[in-house]
Structure 1
Amino acid sequence: MPHTRSTLAEDLVALGVRRGSVLLVHSSLSAVGWVCGGPVAVVQALLDALGPDGTLVVPTHTPDNTDPASWRHPPVPESWWPVIRANMPGFDPVLTPSRWMGVVAETVRTWPGARRSDHPQVSFAAVGPAAETVVTGHQLDEMLGEHSPLGAVYRLDGDVLLLGAGHDSNTSLHLAEYRLPDPPRRWEGSAVRSNDGRIWTRWPDVDTDESDFDQVGDAFEGTRGVRIGRVGAAECRLMRQRALVDFAVDWLGTNRTPRDAPR
């Protein structure tokens, strides 16, 4: 049988989605299977499970608005770098589409009443009563730290749902990286809006690394802090973000080898 808005909402409630909560979702529509209504029905089901007092949050990152010197998939010739830096459109939270975040996240970005944080690389969008609280105050040099929507979800005691996605996509683990003592740092660059239209700007930030996130997630699941179940055809993982981040700070501090070389 095909999956529908109502059957997906039932699956989400059975998994443990809390009515009235703040829910950060990383998703893969293809993993869910055939849905009558596609990504719109998936978003409707998420909002149904959360209820009118709940808030849905998704990543709406724009990795193409980064320094081309760091591009690897694919790289571009060095002779292109100054052209890209001079001509990349400045990030606009209303107009700039997300990239590689999935069609569900992009659907939330354009949802009626959606709010989006104003970060040129790692914005988040939210729908619901706490949306403005989640997205406001996203600092340029706190991409995924305390002064980002991830920090806001932590303060609001929100949940994380991996909807057919793995822990390698679990951005809340980056918040744990920011909480490590003296994390390595690197220079970032993006095009941003200005009074003159747009400028290219650079700033130092934490040198994030998701290469061991699957290991962190597996270890956290060993604490029984994750509820695993099916939403449609997708294997899903639901967890409290505070418990995840607190665990990850300890795990990374114990198991991660420090990287000293700046990038």
Structure 2
Amino acid sequence: MDERALLARSGGPVTRSRLVRELAALGLRPGDTVMFHTALSALGYVPGGPLTVVAALREVLGARGTLLVYSGWNDAPPQDFTTWPAPWQQAVRAEHPAYDPELSEGTHDNGRLPEALRRLPGARRTRHPDSFAALGAAAEALVGEVPWDDPYGAAGPLGRLVAAGGRVLLLGAPLDTLTVLHHAEALARAPGKRHLRYEVPVLGPDGARVWQSYWDIDTEDEAFAYGQAVPEGVWPFTVIAREALAEGIGLRGRVGAAESHLFEAAELVHFGVRWIERNITRE
């Protein structure tokens, strides 16, 4: 890490107190329920790293607030392992460790903040391996007893976030990281919606390892044939979010050195559903 370059970008250290001021200026409020995505290096030099960012968020939200992150499972079996030669499949089925909400490492794809949050005392994580973690007053309400099938639907953490009047915060993270738009995909009624069936080892009620099958929208590639509506090589969530911002949905500001955004989850999901249903007209 080049601390000097980060300091120059952010005009000095992005301390906890500075983060608190700038998050409040962006529009974050005490008592908010917030899903957040962070590109830590985009903020500049943050003394203390992820734990400083989480502490600042918790200070702004106060005791009545709640933080939500997508955690995932970094070591889940590949979705296509069921197409491998039979002996290889059998080896995986016999010995692949089970997903453990307490111990299994979250995905590396979303940076360091989600893993830092899920390891904090009091954090809760879904027993569903396509996992979310939460910390704060509404943590259990967001991540407890998630249904196996359709975890991105109304009964999953994102549906609960919307129902609770939650918000979505991007701290320097690009618009394509808006996981909440997977909930819009789950709700949208448009042709050619793609689902996948996953098989994963989990801990059963008695603590023994069992294989569980579940189905969900295709979040690995794309849930719809977006090529009919967005330029090649552009992630559709970027286009949806840009158009939402152009219509006045969401707030923009700077936190540290990073362009940041704050959305009302319900408003963004509603826009996303309408956008999908308007633009996806064929399989």
Please report the TM-score for the alignment, with normalisation by the length of structure 1.
0.89
Q: Hey, what does 2:18 align to over in structure 1?
A: 7
Q: Hey, what does 1:27 align to over in structure 2?
A: 38
Aligned-pair distance for 1:252? 0.5
> SS in structure 1 opposite 2:34?
strand
Counterpart CA distance in 2 for 1:256 and 1:63 is: 31
Q: Say whether the 8 Å CA contact 1:186–1:205 is kept in structure 2.
A: yes
Where does 1:1-263 land on structure 2 (aligned, <5 Å)?
A: 1-69=12-80, 80-100=88-108, 101-120=110-129, 122-181=130-189, 183-194=193-204, 195=206, 197-208=208-219, 209=222, 211-259=235-283
RMSD: 2.1
Q: Say whether the 8 Å CA contact 1:173–1:248 is kept in structure 2.
A: yes
> SS in structure 1 opposite 2:80?
helix
Counterpart CA distance in 2 for 1:58 and 1:204 is: 21
Q: Which moved more, 1:206-215 or 1:94-103?
A: 206-215
Aligned-pair distance for 1:257? 4.7
Give the total of aligned pairs.
254
Aligned-pair distance for 1:163? 1.3
Larger Rg: 2
Q: String of CA shifts for 1:95-129, please: whole Å, max 9, x gaps.
A: 11101222111111011111111111x21111111
Q: Name segments (4+ residues, structure 1) moved above 3 Å.
A: 76-82
Distance 1:188-1:258 versus aligned 2 partners, 3 A rule: farther
Unaligned runs of 5+ in 2: 1-11, 224-234
Q: String of CA shifts for 1:204-229, please: whole Å, max 9, x gaps.
A: 32234274111111111111112111
Unaligned runs of 5+ in 1: none
Counterpart CA distance in 1 for 2:282 and 2:91 is: 35
Q: String of CA shifts for 1:5-55, please: whole Å, max 9, x gaps.
A: 110111100100121110000112122121111111110001111112111
Counterpart CA distance in 2 for 1:133 and 1:17 is: 21
Aligned-pair distance for 1:66? 3.9
Q: Say whether the 8 Å CA contact 2:75–2:105 is kept in structure 1.
A: no
Q: Say whether the 8 Å CA contact 1:60–1:125 is kept in structure 2.
A: yes
Q: Say whether the 8 Å CA contact 2:170–2:260 is kept in structure 1.
A: yes
Please report the TM-score for the alignment, with normalisation by the length of structure 2.
0.83
The code of the aligned residue for 2:242 comes to: D
Counterpart CA distance in 2 for 1:138 and 1:35 is: 34
Distance 1:13-1:70 versus aligned 2 partners, 3 A rule: farther
Identity %: 38
> SS in structure 1 opposite 2:133?
strand
Distance 1:39-1:242 versus aligned 2 partners, 3 A rule: same
Distance 1:16-1:251 versus aligned 2 partners, 3 A rule: same
